[in-house]
Structure 1
Amino acid sequence: MKVTSYPRTGVLDLRLVPAAVVTWAVTLAGLLGGWGVAAALAIAAVVLLPLVRARRIRRWRNGLLAVLVLAGITATGVGVRAHSTAVHPLHLAAQQGDRVEVRASLTSRPKPLRGASYGARRAQDRSVVQVRLRSVHVDGRRTAVGGRALLLVPTEPWRSLIAGQEVTATGRAVPPRGGELLTAAVQVGRAPEQVGPPPGWQRIAEDLREGLRSTSRTVLGPEAAGLLPGLVVGDTGLLPPEVVEQFETSGLTHLMAVSGANLAIVCGAVLLVLRVVGAGPVPCALGAGVAMAGFVVLAGPEPSVLRAAVMGAITLFALALGRERSALPTLAGSVIGLLLLAPGLATTAGFALSVAATAGLVLLAPGWSAALHARGVPVGLAEALAVPAAAHLVTAPLVAAISGQVSLVAVLANLLAGPLVAPATVLGVAATVVVPWCAPLAGALVWLAGPELEWVLAVARHSAAVPGAAVDWPSGVVGGTSLAVLALVLLIVLRGRIARLVLTSLVLVVVVVVIPVRHQVFPWPVPGWSLVACDVGQGDGLVLATGRDREAVVVDTGPDPAPMAECLRRLRIRSVPLVLLTHLHADHVGGISAVLSGRQVGAVAVGPLGEPAWAAREVRATARAHRTPVVPLRAGQRLRWPGLVLDVLGPRGALARSDSAEDANDASLVVKATTPAGRVLLTGDVALPGQAALLASGADLRAEVLKVPHHGSRFTTPRLLARVRPQLAVISVGAGNDYGHPSPLILGELQRMGARIHRTDQAGDIAVVPEGQGRAAVERGDPLRPDER
């Protein structure tokens, strides 16, 4: 009889780690390469098994055999799933772009998309929902099938649906993205049909979630009311966009996503109560299990929640119960089990982040905490420092690969915010549970969570405001890999005492000298700025100083709230007397909520054309929710502030009376702004017919600065450019856009005229400032260049 020996305390148990790594690698290869690659890997594992058995390797043979068996099982499972997906009727229909009708059960709630589609509907008007198929109707034939699909649906008619409901949807099938076991993505353009009732437990869970949202709105301020549901169940729908941006910059975004930490907090609170009342191990385990199951039901049975349940169990039972030796095998075993059951997790960022964060807590945090304690740091403080530092170090490469930036304040922000997240989460969960039976008690619990929420919000706000809080980093595989290599080198180097002293000195120099000096040499906002073209991607978002402190007029708001919110934060704008929307296309109005949230706004101004109608309704609804009036603007009107005058020049003629959505671009409000830096012509997306009407009107179009129409589209007449004769040309355009903006023809025409061209896709935010007798355009992060006059 063979007796298995377990590693002694302090020695890492790595036996399951190779199996987990191989399982993940094989799963990735099968998902990305298709069922043929998965089949080849399965065959290779079978071929290698007898070869390994025949070799006389006593120490490693059993382990290698186990890994090969697991690799074969994994490859076979992925191959079977991938082949089923490849021959699925819906997948074949997607290859042809056929219209289909599907009967399916929702596995998640519809989630609004972020961003925008150019010149069309804002992406927030479209939502995405994952479904499990029941049947597919293609080419007049209905087939009962299984499998999963993705539906792209209009937000409004699908908003109230929850997981578990069966629906019928009709739309055009298109191929899904690679690396996912989805049969197709179906573009649905109308409301769901034949909607079935949700399961009773799903209805109860949704009622509980809505109870938390409504109670939070009643008791707390808008920011805290949006944060509490985020901490409890990952629902950030009520959170203002500028707060989301602050959390991203300060490295606190993970607090608003359901993760193993949420489950550890809830189950830990239950265990604490049970232990206080003297419950034994079995009741404690049962109570924690019930709390975990209840939390999964409350948050919803989505893949991220189920993944968090496993990771929460690891954190709770392996770390909180002091079983450090079992933590790593449990993590590796959980990775293997999850990937065998749901191989699609292998390509998701959330799964990778969960595994990396947990590994950091297991591998690095205990050693770092012990080292700090050995140097005289109290145990509690040592753990508080080690845990966020370890989690941030191991997840930073993944975050950089996804977001293209690295937060330099994340460890400190998590250290300050972390201690109050747990009580706020526990109070929020308790309020959610009691709200159906005793609303006043739920309100009291939410009120008690208020101070903790305000502290977390303050930490995020002040951390994000630190100069250099986040630095840009290459995104994608190259950026993530390079940062991972750098982190590994640091871990190796820091094992030496001299290296630690050198690094500490360098960090102090950067914090005390480099960052403050850089902020003075490259100041932002530039003193005396008159106009800033915000880098909002493929859209327009401009800010005009009024001459009053921290006050500005905003012209268009970009396609998405987050970039606009960040631009206004960097400019320190607190008051906006007017938000002027040149026209109602998605790339000009999508970020309006960012402007209206968290600052004083006098009014929203729109042109005479209320098209597209969906956008007009949404703008008015958003303004009404923020108690901001919507006012019309027409040619001939003049608006004044101490340092700014706006003259509305267009639209003119028939375009001012049009009611056709096709005229939306040409019906753009055209405004000339008189600023200390000179005259600025703001043209929206006015195209050839609108430009012709403008030229025929005889209006004075001369301006020193031109916001080039329609992101530099080729549909700009040279006659307009000649009439304006700009010295500076500012083009608001998204990097790598699919529309060919800006046109080389327009760029060439502007260069021949002697205009200096500045583009947001190349420079980021662009400020126009008065300089001597002329003006200069200053790109964010660059020093003022007085030679540019």
Structure 2
Amino acid sequence: MSGAPARWSWLDLRLVPAAATVWAGTLLAPLVGVPVLAAAVPAAVGTALLVARRRRSAGSVVLLVVLAALAVTAASAAVREAARAASPLAGAAEGRRTVELVLELDGDPAAVRGAGPPRVVVEATAAVLEDGATRTRLDDAVVLFGPADEWRGLLPGQVVRVRAAVSPASADEGLVARLSARAPPVLLGEPSRVQRAAGGLREGLRDTAVRVLGPQAGGLLPGLAVGDTTAMDPVLVEDFRRAGLAHLTAVSGANVAIVLAGVLAPLRRRAVDRRVQALVALAALAGFVVLARPSASVVRAAAMGAVTLLALATGRSRAAVPALGGAVVVLLLADPRLARDAGFALSVAATAAIVLLAPGWSRRLRGRGWPQLPADAVAVAAAAGLATAPLVAGLSGLVSPVSLPVNLLAAPAVAPATVLGLLAALAVPVLPPLGEALVWAAGWPVRWLVAVAQGAAALPDAATGWPAGVRGAVLLTVLLVAAGWLLWRFPRARAPAVAALVGAVVLGWPLRQAARGWPPEDTVVVACDVGQGDALVLPTAPGEGLLVDAGPDVGPVDRCLDRLGIDTLPLVLLTHLDADHAGGLAGALSGRAVGVVATGTLSPAEDRVARLDDAVRRAGAQRAVLVPGDRRTVGSATVEVLAPPPETATAAQPANDLSLVVRVTQRGVRVLLTGDLSGAAEARIVARGVDLRADVLKVPHHGSADADRGFFAATGARVALVSVGAGNSYGHPAPRVLSWLAQDGVRVHRTDTDGDVAVAGDAAAWGVAVRGPGEGGSAAGGAGATAEPAVPLRGPSGTSVPRATMPGWLQHPPRRPPACAPWWGRRSCCAPAPSRPCGPRCSSATPTPSCTSWPRRGSRSASSPTCWPPRCSARTGWWW
């Protein structure tokens, strides 16, 4: 840029180093402490002075910009951290005291998932601290958790007084403290007129859309138009996530661009002065931010739009990259919490890719004969998808291979739905009939989006597991960069690469689905990998099954039922109504024929029955309450209810202790399902003399240490299933429980390490197969590809008995000393129950060895001897 005054071009990158420096400095500031930050300021300034004295060059200018950004970032971070440490609220948090606070809400209360009653979280600013007789004015950022019934419906800007327990927040959260409400909020005034008006517009659009379009399309329209997803069907939310369309319900740059284009188009046609255009558009932009709520992506897009409007008003050419860089710098300095916000990072990455990559890709496509509209659509979708794929993979542990074509199919419907939704939101309070007509018109593109998302989510491997966290994001970035470089460096490889990709989709996908071998033949029960929760399925007929609990989220249980081919649920049992057992019920019921949803006798204080009844009614099912002695037959399964007795269901009893306990028998294999019983409740059941004998035990309460060993012994189970989430913070399963089970000769299978676990076979020969941890609910890091399917082997009675996956070189039955039964279908040699040590010998003449020395010394597997616990119990394969 020399000679004439330089004008910004499309690739003006002068603010990119500054934005990167501010972002990196903001991320690192909480880790280094105030002294280091304070020392960094004079060091950066001194270095900048030395550089400025030398001859000017492009490199020195860039370095000066970086040093200036570093000095400003370090100075603001040092001031902020010092103020945070000196805050009286931080002292109260260190002592974990309960205090009175006056808060100004910064956003809408948002629902949080978890066990127990519904709760919400809301960001706020603490204005006053009342600790005893001391009253202190504050300006501290906090986050508050409270009961949903007390906080739902409050608006941003609302000032409330609340009594709350204060706990420390980590420095990287950008908060002074975390609050947990200990009393309902006391309103100290109404929110501003602007916020009341925005809240009324959002509520009016939401209610009208649901009434006119129904729950699915009606819940989606407010999300597309103003980012209000409170009415969205949770199953549809999961479908959008798996299809790679979740960004449509997060208001971002696309929505801002649509608003500005709609405002500026008529002004330009009338040749209105550009300064008037900018002022009108700026007012519309401010109103849209208030209506859509200032989330990270909205704020980023609005800041970039404001910079662009400033360029319009001053007559400067409008360049996207400088606008984006300036927006990032200003926003991060104003609100450092955005540096760790996933939505902000995704928004910036997508915008940068669209403005840097999409124009060139579009030109290349047009040069090959593509029409402009399809070329632009493909280029924008591909650029945004590739740029955000590593972030999405790291955040969710999923990669969506169908994201690009699905976004292309959805793109034509997004703008009409957004525009009509915004017009409807403005029209409903003024002219309700016009608002309803606009909502009806918006329903057509919205229904198309629903159909696209549902169809894509139903495809096999629509979302493939991937390692989560930084490792997964870096790995996918390296792979994408390497593949892009190879295709750019070797043009002749492009055609074979496209052919290989098409072949993998057309041939590899169907072959993979056919070769998975899941579920195993003659499946008795499957413990689904749904994370920290329970969901067990007992297939009872082709396409039909019995479901016991539904896990914490709608997605994992829905996918597990799909993998098993279950589209009819004659009976659904909910052991109790905690979120980790009933939170995913909507995902299980949606799109399936449902007969009866049953629970045990619930406590009279149970306040979640109304929501359960509503979900059952929407599914077209019936509600039932089962008591001990009840028996039900569902296909090939017989259900016996063992607990709880109705007389124990008092208001004082915890929900866990009132868990429905049932024994289900299929083809002679007995499965005991126990909910979340505590040790005391287990002991009471044993004391009542309840017959608990079973072959398979679902370990109560995810293997909690609060357990009764006598209960385990009374079952006489040979296999135990633990439904538990990977890396859970509860310490489940407890080492003590695992030790008890091992001492009783019980083989333990866990969903956090094994993924879906299936018990298959019949009374003559049955065994256990595992699917392997994948993109189910528990994988914190995601195991990625689907595990090898269980290999069906022939047992003594000729039935198919699956065994766990083993290396290919160990597929043939090894030579080992004879025992009570062949190794592939090993059965107990002892009495049916209770399970206890067999003594020195089993019923056969040959005792079960504790460890064999097969294979011969020197062979490739000699370092991995085959071991059997010294008890007679069910064994279905090698134990390594």
- Tell me, yes or no, if structure 1 residue 730 matches structure 2 residue 721: yes
Q: What is the CA–CA distance in structure 1 between the aligned matches of 2:319 and 2:288, rounded to whole Å?
A: 24
**1:6 lines up with 2:12 in the alignment:** no
Question: Are residues 1:518 and 2:512 paired?
Answer: yes
Aligned-pair CA distance for 1:623: 4.2
Return the offset for 1:103: 0.6
Measured in 1, the distance between the counterparts of 2:732 and 2:40 equals 45
More deviation, 204-213/237-246: 237-246
Structure 2 unmatched ranges of 5 or more? 772-785, 794-802, 804-824, 826-880
Shift of 1:469: 1.7
Q: Which SS does the other structure have where 1:613 is aligned?
A: coil
| Matching of residue 171 in structure 1 with residue 164 in structure 2 | yes
Deviations 1:732-774 (CA, angstroms, capped at 9, x unpaired): 1111123332233433444455544321111222233337943
Match of 1:91 in 2: 90
Question: What residue is the counterpart of 1:347 in the other structure?
Answer: 340
Distance (whole Å) between structure 2 residues aligned to residue 190 and residue 622 of structure 1: 30
CA distance in 1, matches of 2:276, 2:769: 66
Counterpart mapping for 1:676-691 below 5 A: 676=667, 678-691=669-682
More off after superposition, 130-139 vs 766-775: 766-775
After TM superposition, where is structure 1 displaced by more than 6 Å over at least 4 residues in a row? 7-10, 314-319, 322-325
Give the conservation status (yes or no) of the 8 Å contact 2:278–2:309.
no
Q: What is the aligned partner in structure 2 of residue 701 from structure 1?
A: 692
Alignment of 1:744-783 (within 5 A): 744-770=735-761, 773-780=764-771, 781=786, 782-783=788-789
Query: Paired residue for 1:112?
Result: 111
1:458 Cα deviation after fit? 1.4
Structure 1 counterpart of 2:96, one-letter code: G
Would you say 1:665 and 2:656 are equivalent positions?
Answer: yes
Deviates more, 1:28-37 or 1:105-114: 28-37
Structure 2 counterpart SS, 1:706: strand
Structure 1 residues 242, 325: CA separation in 2 closer, same or farther (over 3 Å shift)?
same
Which amino acid is 2:416 matched to? P
Deviates more, 1:54-63 or 1:232-241: 54-63
Deviation at 1:65, TM superposition (A): 2.4
Q: Which has the higher contact order (CA 8 A, sep 6+)?
A: 1
Find the counterpart in structure 2 of residue 674 from structure 1.
Answer: 665
C-alpha distance in 2 between matches for 1:325 and 1:585:
54
Bigger mean CA deviation after superposition, 363-372 or 772-781: 772-781
Give how far 1:561 is off.
Answer: 3.3
Letter in 2 for 1:736: G
Amino acid at match of 2:103: A
Is residue 271 of structure 1 aligned with residue 278 of structure 2?
Answer: no
- Structure 1 stretch displaced more, 167-176 or 374-383: 374-383
For 2:665 and 2:317, the matched residues in 1 are separated by: 67
Distance 2:302 2:561 in 1: 38
Equivalent residue, structure 2, for 1:400: 393
CA gap of 1:597–1:693, structure 2 versus 1, over 3 A, is same
Partners of 2:419 and 2:308 in 1: how far apart?
17
Q: Any conservation in 2 of the 1:242–1:566 contact (CA below 8 Å)?
A: no
Name the CA distance, whole Å, in 2 between partners of 1:297 and 1:311. Answer: 16
Structure 1 position 533 matched with structure 2 position 492: no
Provide the identity percentage.
46
Q: Cα 1:772–1:133, aligned 2, differ >3 Å: closer, same or farther? A: closer
**Structure 1 CA distance for aligned equivalents of residues 280 and 566 of structure 2:** 50
* Cα distance between partner residues in 2 of 1:463 and 1:194: 46
Instruction: Report the Cα distance in structure 2 between the residues aligned to 1:751 and 1:731, rounded to whole angstroms.
Output: 13
Alpha carbons of 1:702 and 1:413: their partners in 2 closer, same or farther (altered >3 Å)? Answer: same
Give the secondary-structure state (helix, strand or coil) at the position aligned to 1:97.
coil
Q: 8 Å contact 1:413–1:459 — kept in the other structure?
A: yes
Contact 2:535 2:550 in 1 (8 A): yes
Deviations 1:286-334 (A, max 9, x none): 4433332221121124444322312456799999xx9997221221111
Partner of 1:221: 214
State which of 125, 131, 151 in structure 2 corresponds to 1:158. 151
Q: Distance in 1 between matches of 2:762 and 2:634?
A: 21
Residue type matched to 1:50 in 2?
L
* Partners of 2:519 and 2:563 within 8 A in 1: yes
Amino acid at match of 1:784: A
Q: 1:699 to 1:257 in 2, by over 3 A?
A: same
CA distance in 2: counterparts of 1:599 and 1:36, whole angstroms: 61
**Counterparts of 1:199 and 1:626, CA distance in 2:** 41
> Per-residue deviation at 1:26?
1.7
* Structure 1 gap segments, 5+ residues each: none
SS at match of 2:171: coil
Contact 2:520 2:792 in 1 (8 A): no
Mapped to 1, the partners of 2:458 and 2:163 lie a distance apart of: 47
- Correspondence for 2:302: 309
**Secondary structure of 2:173's aligned partner:** coil
Q: Separation in 1 of the partners of 2:35 and 2:607?
A: 46
Q: Does 1:650 align with 2:643?
A: yes
Residue 611 to residue 760, structure 1, CA distance change in 2 (3 Å): farther
Deviation at 1:775, TM superposition (A): 2.9
| Aligned counterparts of 1:419 and 1:526: Cα–Cα separation in 2 | 43
Within the candidate set 358, 383, 399, 1:365 is matched to 358
Cross-structure match for 1:558: 551
Query: Residue deviations 1:421-462, cap 9 Å, x none?
Result: 110111111110100111111111111111211111111112
Q: Following TM superposition, by how much is the alpha carbon of 1:593 offset from its aligned partner in structure 2, in angstroms?
A: 3.4
Code of the residue aligned with 1:44 in structure 2: it is A
Which TM-score applies when normalising by structure 2? 0.83
CA contact (8 A) 2:296 2:344 kept: no
Which residue is 1:338 aligned to? 331
1:126 matched to which residue of 2? 119
CA distance 1:89–1:625, shift in 2 (3 Å): farther
My pick for the range that moved more, 225-234 or 609-618, is 609-618
Task: Kindly provide the amino acid, as one letter, of the partner of residue 53 in structure 1.
Answer: A
Paired residue secondary structure (2:607): helix
Q: Structure 2 vs 1, CA of residues 318 and 764 (structure 1 numbering), >3 Å: closer, same or farther?
A: farther
**Contact residue 26 and residue 339 of structure 2 kept, 8 A:** yes
Bigger proportion of residues as helix: 1
Q: For the Cα contact (< 8 Å) 1:234–1:299, is it kept in 2?
A: yes
Equivalents in 1 of 2:567, 2:431: separation in Å?
39
Instruction: Return the match for 1:145 from 129, 133, 138.
Output: 138
Moved more, 681-690 or 719-728: 719-728
Do the aligned residues in 2 keep the contact of 1:136 with 1:143 (CA within 8 Å)?
Answer: yes
Q: Distance in 2 between matches of 1:625 and 1:312?
A: 43
Deviation at 1:281, TM superposition (A): 4.4
Q: Name the CA shift for 1:667/1:70 in 2 (closer, same or farther; >3 Å).
A: closer
* Counterparts of 1:560 and 1:150, CA distance in 2: 24
Q: CA deviation at 1:507?
A: 1.4
Query: Could you tell me how far apart the structure 2 residues matched to 1:658 and 1:641 are?
Result: 27
Q: Which amino acid aligns with 1:440?
A: P
Matched, 1:785 2:785: no
2: CA distance, partners of 1:528 / 1:219? 46
| Contact 2:9–2:319 (8 Å) recurs in 1 | no
* Structure 2 equivalent of residue 422 of structure 1: 415
The residue aligned with 1:636 is 629
Q: 1:261 touches 1:312 (CA, 8 Å); kept in 2?
A: no
Give the partner amino acid of 1:100.
V
Q: Counterparts of 1:459 and 1:752 in 2: how far apart (Å)?
A: 52
Which stretch shifts more, 299-308 or 631-640?
Answer: 299-308
By how many angstroms is 1:362 displaced? 1.1
In structure 2, do the counterparts of structure 1 residues 216 and 349 end up closer, same or farther at CA, with 3 Å as the change threshold? same
Q: Specify the SS of the correspondent of 2:142.
A: strand
Moved more, 325-334 or 81-90: 325-334
Q: 1:489 matched to which residue of 2?
A: 482
Distance 1:303 1:612, change over 3 A: farther
CA distance in 1, matches of 2:543, 2:269: 53
Question: Does structure 2 conserve the Cα–Cα contact (< 8 Å) formed by 1:545 and 1:553?
Answer: yes
Contact (CA 8 Å) 1:535, 1:761: kept in 2 or not?
A: yes
CA distance in 2, matches of 1:695, 1:200: 62
Secondary structure in 2 matching 1:532: strand
RMSD of Structure 2 on Structure 1 (CA): 2.8
Count of residue correspondences = 776
